[in-house]
Amino acid sequence: MQFDLKAALSHIDLPDATWIGLREVREISTTRYVRDRQPQSNGRSLSHGLMIEVLVDGQFGYASTNYLDLKNIQITAQRAYQQAKVSAQWAVHSFAIAQRPKATGQYFSPYLEDVEAISPKELNALLIDICDRLKVSDQIVKTSAYAVITEIETKFISSNGSDIYQKFLTIATDYAATAQDGAIIQRRGDHGQLACCHQAGMEIFDRDLTLQKAQIIGEQAIELLNADECPTEATNLVLAPDQMLLQIHESIGHPLEIDRILGDERNYAGGSFVKLEDFGKMQYGSSLMNVCFDPTMAGEFASYGFDDVGIPATKEYLIKEGKLLRGLGSSESQARSHIDGVANARATSWNRPAIDRMANINLEAGEYSFDQIIANIERGIYMESNRSWSIDDYRNKFQFGCEYAKLIENGKLTKTLRNPNYRGVTNQFWNNLTRVGDRQTVEAYGSPFCGKGEPNQVIRVGHASPVCLFENIEVFGGA
């Protein structure tokens, strides 16, 4: 990024502003999508602009521009200033410079091979080969291979001396096969739908590994055509990390967002069954439940060194031994709620203000191997890969469907089951957590599609989890 952000800051003339922050974002996103071995999309987009944040009369005002010229930046800063002045008339809280402490530092995504390591031609050829490998039989009626490569640079500087540079490289992939036999249609993807999301480099596209993966996905799609329906019963439910992703996201992440609890999101994303007075008191789940906000995990999708208002990122326990300790509240939400929070103020790009987001929310490993968990179950169901979800707007009652399941009988995985679903109520469900897998069972996934805010902000989240056993859960079949 060549633009002189410091010169821009020193040029802004707003004599009675308490604080000014500038956040420059430059994002290049490349999407390659092949369906039935035909290239569908080879898009590359660039987005580059500046968010100006001004604190005046105890209120933050925001304005953004992608016209990086000193005169226009002054006009944009005045818009942010006016917005803060106007909102001061209806203030719900008076903010201070304490919400924007000085911070300096850098962050770089870890990776082995940079984006130039594989040419567009080679990547398209690989995606076509993946489609070929997915089509293990004539009963495979659709194949798809999808890769989204995103390079993001952000700079943040402020009038009280913050100076932060971060550079991200993220890759999201999805390889999927749809199988059909008459009226029966089954889709099998690579751990669900676009769940393979990491901060990594082009080493992700290892030819042998991706083709092996594609072969298994194709074979499992066919296997599902001939599988039994998931039975309807209350039973032991074992969830793979690629479904724990969704379970953590919807029933821990969203309900703990402090802005939701404060009511900011009620009009759009909803509220939460959690109340401010529950922090420090509520038994959220069984004593085996340890959940962290952790943007420091190397390679996870939503890792970073600083949030988008310059707060240094640290790992923090949200839930320890089942007890609710801390919320997903940014510096503003912490000031408003008086609840301990985290460095989670994030914006989808340069043209949005930062709000309370999830980043990485991870469930910590326990002590049982996968085989030990299964061996202790007389009857149960093991489910993999999210397919569908429904949860009320207080994030309490939910119903989730998976792509692939196995029956567990007398300590062994037996028949494959199709159309597996389960339902529950958040606290009750997490209180039924009775076995947590060890480190060998932990896998990290993510999503580029967490939506929130008006205007909408779709953002990256990461979730790592071991395999988990929940007792006495209602499971059922059906599409």
Which residue matches tokens 């967490």? Answer: 450
Q: How far apart are CA 127 and CA 119, in angstroms?
A: 12
Pick from 259, 327, 321: nearest CA to 293: 327
Least separation in angstroms between residue 449's CB and Zn ion is 8
Least separation in angstroms between residue 423's CB and Zn ion is 19
| Nearest to Zn ion of 209, 458 (CB atom) | 458
359 binds Zn ion (CB under 5 A): no
| Nearest to Zn ion of 370, 389 (CB atom) | 389
Least separation in angstroms between residue 265's CB and Zn ion is 11
Q: Which stretch binds Zn ion (CB under 5 A): 42-50, 343-351, 417-425, 445-453?
A: 445-453
| Nearest to Zn ion of 241, 453 (CB atom) | 453
Which residue matches tokens 């802005």? Answer: 259
| Nearest to Zn ion of 81, 301 (CB atom) | 301
239 binds Zn ion (CB under 5 A): no
450 binds Zn ion (CB under 5 A): yes
Q: How far apart are CA 306 and CA 252, in angstroms?
A: 22
Q: How far apart are CA 65 and CA 79, in angstroms?
A: 11
Binding mask 318-347 for Zn ion (x = CB under 5 A): ------------------------------
Q: How far apart are CA 433 and CA 470, in angstroms?
A: 4
Least separation in angstroms between residue 393's CB and Zn ion is 12
Least separation in angstroms between residue 367's CB and Zn ion is 30
Least separation in angstroms between residue 300's CB and Zn ion is 16
Which element (helix H / strand E) includes 371? helix 370-375
Residue type, 26: R
**422 token code pair:** 């389960």
Least separation in angstroms between residue 388's CB and Zn ion is 15
Q: Which stretch binds Zn ion (CB under 5 A): 127-135, 309-317, 346-354, 450-458?
A: 450-458
| Nearest to Zn ion of 188, 254 (CB atom) | 254
| Nearest to Zn ion of 131, 450 (CB atom) | 450
Q: How far apart are CA 127 and CA 131, in angstroms?
A: 6
Geometric angle at alpha carbon 270, from 54 and 241, rounded to 5°? 100
| Nearest to Zn ion of 224, 450 (CB atom) | 450
| Nearest to Zn ion of 319, 469 (CB atom) | 319
For the chain, give the longest Cα–Cα distance.
74
Pick from 191, 313, 339: nearest CA to 261: 339
Least separation in angstroms between residue 459's CB and Zn ion is 8
**CB contact set of 403 (below 8 Å; sequence gap of 6+):** 186, 187, 188, 189, 192, 224, 384, 385, 386, 387
Q: Give Cα 422 to chain centroid, integer Å.
A: 22
Q: Which stretch binds Zn ion (CB under 5 A): 10-18, 65-73, 114-122, 449-457?
A: 449-457
Pick from 188, 139, 227, 223: nearest CA to 477: 227
Cα 283 to Cα 42, 245, 292, 320, 431, distances in angstroms: 49, 21, 16, 9, 8
Residue type, 372: Q
| Nearest to Zn ion of 57, 259 (CB atom) | 259
Least separation in angstroms between residue 405's CB and Zn ion is 24
Least separation in angstroms between residue 150's CB and Zn ion is 18
Which single residue brings its beta carbon nearest to Zn ion? 450
**Count of residues in contact with Zn ion, rule CB under 5 A:** 1
| Nearest to Zn ion of 336, 395 (CB atom) | 395
Pick from 48, 52, 50, 49: nearest CA to 21: 52
Q: Which stretch binds Zn ion (CB under 5 A): 103-111, 224-232, 425-433, 447-455?
A: 447-455
The residues that touch Zn ion, with contacts defined as CB under 5 A, are 450
